[in-house]
Amino acid sequence: MSSRESLSNAKTWVIKIGSSLLTDDGKGLNRKNMAAWVSQIAAFNRAGIAVVLVSSGAVAEGVSRLGLKGRPSAIHNQQAAAAVGQMGLIQAYESEFQQFDLHTAQVLLTHDDLSNRKRYLNARSTLTTLLQLGVIPVVNENDTVVTDEICFGDNDTLAGLVANLINADAMVILTDQDGLYEEDPRSNPEAALVSEARCDEDALLGFAGTGHGALGRGGMQTKIQAARLAARSGTLTCIANGRQENVLESLRQGDNVGTILLPENEPLAARKQWLASHLKVKGTLVLDAGAVKVLKSSGKSLLSVGVKSCSGHFQRGDVVSCTDENGNAIARGLVNYNADETGRLAGQPTDRIIEILGYDGDHELIHRDNLVLL
């Protein structure tokens, strides 16, 4: 089956719509565009396809409603704009979906909601139940309370994590470009559109550049990173132009629209998807070459003897990153000792744990069940 056929046959979709599409050049919500997308999503619903909508636009709508000149830089002003704008955003979606006798549900998330295993499972249960009830969940980052320490950074990343949450078959990121180009089409009109690629290809980030809009936070690079997040649950990603007429229906019909990014590996188990989804880690363990080889080739637990050094302030059960000696991320996992104990155990064999710490703790620094390769 081709990638386009796989997208066409997908039964669970995450659709992300960015601020540049939702807002009319900072003049408020573009209700005409919203109506078009809602109509297509309603058709998906009638066809038995479950859709979670990840929607930006709250801050941008708040900026418009409050008469501000642009996105505020101060966090409290951003939060105020989000609080005002969220009312208009959800009101607009509710109004549009009601025309098709569909209910919507507002779901606001922060990174903390997905970092805690219990809250992660609760969020997944809530979204799954809403889909079973035929409701369209409208997900956004909870910008009214978010801080740098708990934010996703952009809704592309949030969409990728939501794809993990519900094990989506497909994720579509609607943007103001036709897809991913090999060069910036604004500077080179002859730039070639990438029709299909594996999301782990190194060249993709080079194609993406660094640009982003004034009201949004995500550029093309964040979309590629989101595709890589979604790939952990086996989700196929498509980046397409949201202004193209009937773009969602075209994708459902298997038309050659946008850029398809394919997952590179088999889906991770649910627990390891959660581990991999942690964007905020509390510390870093630097591994020697032997430990890196063992983790990559055999799937064994990480032992203290393979650790050269550690940094950060972490407690038992926190998520830490494991890197090689060149700083390349290798794995991520839940550590069995705090930072001080880990530092004392680094490079030491397991049979010295009692001698060093004064008690007989876990033999593994990170158990293989709590470790995921990146």
| Band of pLDDT at residue 166, cut at 50, 70 and 90 | very high
The pTM assigned to this predicted structure is 0.80
* Averaged pLDDT, 1-29: 86
Query: Residues 6 or more apart from 349 whose CB is under 8 A from it?
Result: 303, 304, 305
pLDDT band at 287 (very low <50, low <70, confident <90, very high): very high
pLDDT value for 213: 44
∠ CA(20), CA(15), CA(49), 5° rounding? 150
Q: How confident is residue 217, by pLDDT bands cut at 50, 70 and 90?
A: very low
Neighbours of 253 (CB within 10 A): 12
Predicted local confidence at residue 118, as pLDDT: 81
The residue-averaged pLDDT of 31-53 equals: 96
> Read out DSSP for 227-241?
HHHHHTTT-EEEEEE
Q: Where are the chain's structural domains?
A: 3-272, 281-373
CATH number listed for the domain at residues 3-272: 3.40.1160.10
Among residues 83, 85, 54, the alpha carbon closest in space to that of 145 is found at 83
CB-based contact 30:19 (threshold 8 Å) = no
Q: What crossing angle do the helices spanning 220-231 and 155-166 adopt, rounded to 10°?
A: 10
**What mean pLDDT is reported for the chain?**
88
Please tell me which residue, 167 or 75, carries the higher pLDDT value: 167
Per-residue model confidence as pLDDT tens digits over 118-134: 888 889 899 999 999 99
Give 109's contacts (C-beta < 8 A, 6+ positions apart).
Answer: 123, 139, 140, 141, 142, 152, 158
| CB proximity list for 32: less than 8 A, separation 6 or greater | none
In DSSP terms, which residues pair with 54 in a beta bridge? 16, 139
**pLDDT of 211 higher than 50:** no
pLDDT level of residue 146 (50, 70, 90 thresholds): low
Question: Which tokens is 155 given?
Answer: 């809704």
- Asked if residue 300 has pLDDT above 70, the reply is yes
Question: How much is the pLDDT for 273?
Answer: 79
Instruction: Work out the average pLDDT over 221-240.
Output: 91
pLDDT grade, residue 279 (50/70/90)?
Answer: low
Question: Is the pLDDT score of 290 beyond 80?
Answer: yes
One-character DSSP codes across 216-277: ----HHHHHHHHHHHHTTT-EEEEEETTSTTHHHHHHTT---SEEEE--SPPPPHHHHHHHT
Q: What is the pLDDT of residue 215?
A: 41
For residue 336, pLDDT over 90 is answered with yes
Instruction: For residue range 52-110, list pLDDT tens digits in order.
Output: 999 988 888 888 888 888 888 888 888 888 889 899 999 999 999 999 999 999 999 88
> In this predicted model, what pLDDT tens digit does every residue of 340-362 receive, in sequence order?
999 999 999 999 999 999 988 88
- For the domain spanning 281-373, the CATH number is 2.30.130.10
pLDDT value for 358: 92
- In this predicted structure, the answer to whether residue 366 has a pLDDT above a threshold of 90 is yes
